[in-house]
Amino acid sequence: MKLDILSNTFLRDKYLLLELRAPEEFVKPQPGQFLHLRIEDSSDPLLRRPLSVHDAVWPSSKTGSRKPVIRVLYEVVGKGTSLLSEKRPLTQVDALGPLGNGFDLGKILRAGQVYIVAGGMGVAPLFFLAKTICESQKAKGKRQKIVVLIGGRNKDHIVREKEFKDLGCEVHVATEDGSKGFKGRVTELLNSFLLKAADSRPPTLCACGPKLMLAAVAGIAQQKGLAAQVSLEEFMGCGLGACLGCVILTTRGYRRICHDGPVFDASEVIWTE
Ligand SMILES: Cc1cc2nc3c(=O)[nH]c(=O)nc-3n(C[C@H](O)[C@H](O)[C@H](O)COP(=O)(O)OP(=O)(O)OC[C@H]3O[C@@H](n4cnc5c(N)ncnc54)[C@H](O)[C@@H]3O)c2cc1C
Ligand code: FES
């Protein structure tokens, strides 16, 4: 499906926000789902690139348009994302999606509070998750505490802090070099918050980031008896569950990240490597 590029803007350094206008028939995405983008019409790069839905604005009487707007937040890391960063408005990009399963919102909304843990570009799907939780709570007249912990190598790797705050989330930052917020890993910060929150209603954890970070979140959740959902990343071929290029081992056998995930219950993933 062709999506119109409305804007493709550098937020800073290697981080961009791509804003797309989708056709009316585009299926409403769930937080955690992703688009599989064909960057060029040529065969290089041959494979599509998976990028999470960072935000989705659905048509309403307020928006004045019948077409949804989808936002994607991405970091330039290689050829595909570099070519994507050169795309200009008034051109189009071909997208499959929304793909994958998304976070289990029912479970999250039943929890006492939510801890959202983002490592690096993990903020991309988690912002849409936080926004959706806030909107669901508002619609039900409820208020659930959302604590967002964002981790990165240094302050230049921390993005979307303000946007999470604007949603009403409590936001804390961890940098490995201490250039902003807590000095250390975001999972250490998570541990210290959970110690303080030990007397309150048990939170549920939602995380996205590098695999080692997610394994650490899963370990913390297991140790403290907390529910945790993690969004995994892997190199993808088809993105549709056909090529088996993205499998991981779980307690239910091999599962495809693109089709059975990318969001998994942390306790079902077998964390090897
Ligand atoms: C479900 C899913 C959702 C994603 N959402 C986002 C997002 O919202 N924003 C974002 O910036 N990135 C996201 N990614 C990662 C993104 O797909 C890769 O960064 C991108 O495909 C790299 O393409 P490239 O051609 O620029 O880099 P390549 O030239 O293919 O690779 C450059 C470097 O990036 C690493 N890399 C490439 N692909 C991946 C991958 N899938 N996982 C881990 N490392 C990789 C390679 O090891 C290499 O070091 C997501 C990945 C998945 C699987
Ligand atoms: S990328 Fe083909 S099965 Fe997942």
Average pLDDT in the chain: 94
**pLDDT band with cut points at 50, 70 and 90 for residue 198:** low
Examine the domain organization and report whether 109 and 89 are in the same domain. no
Ligand 2, atom nearest to 257 Cα: 4
CA dihedral 163, 165, 171, 173 (to 10 degrees): 40
Give pLDDT tens digits for 74-121.
Answer: 999 999 999 999 999 999 999 998 999 999 999 999 888 999 999 999
CA distance 120 to 151: 6
Q: Give distance in angstroms: CA of 150 to centre of ligand 1.
A: 19
Closest CA to 269 of 216, 223, 225: 216
Instruction: Please choose from 101, 259, 260, 264 the residue to mutate so as to test ligand 2's pocket, defined by most ligand atoms within 8 A of CB.
Output: 259
Q: Which of 230, 250, 265 is the last residue of a domain?
A: 230
Q: Is this prediction's pTM over 0.85?
A: yes
Ligand 1, atom nearest to 75 Cα: 11
Q: Looking at the predicted structure, is the pLDDT value of residue 46 above 70?
A: yes
Question: Is the CB of 263 within 6 Å of ligand 1?
Answer: no
| pLDDT at residue 83 in the model | 96
Does a structural domain hold residue 150?
yes
Ligand 2, atom nearest to 238 Cα: 2
Examine the domain organization and report whether 149 and 211 are in the same domain. yes
Examine the domain organization and report whether 223 and 134 are in the same domain. yes
Closest CA to 207 of 229, 181, 223: 229
> What average pLDDT does range 120-132 have in this prediction?
97
Examine the domain organization and report whether 38 and 74 are in the same domain. yes
Give pLDDT tens digits for 13-24.
Answer: 899 999 999 999
Q: Looking at the predicted structure, is the pLDDT value of residue 228 above 90?
A: yes
What domain range is 163 assigned to? 105-230
Q: Give distance in angstroms: CA of 112 to centre of ligand 2.
A: 35
Question: Is the CB of 159 within 6 Å of ligand 1?
Answer: no
Examine the domain organization and report whether 127 and 53 are in the same domain. no
SS3 198: helix
Please report, for the domain that includes residue 93, its CATH number: 2.40.30.10
Q: Give distance in angstroms: CA of 74 to centre of ligand 1.
A: 9
Examine the domain organization and report whether 70 and 31 are in the same domain. yes
Give pLDDT tens digits for 50-64.
Answer: 999 999 998 876 767
Examine the domain organization and report whether 34 and 88 are in the same domain. yes
| pLDDT at residue 63 in the model | 64
Examine the domain organization and report whether 38 and 139 are in the same domain. no
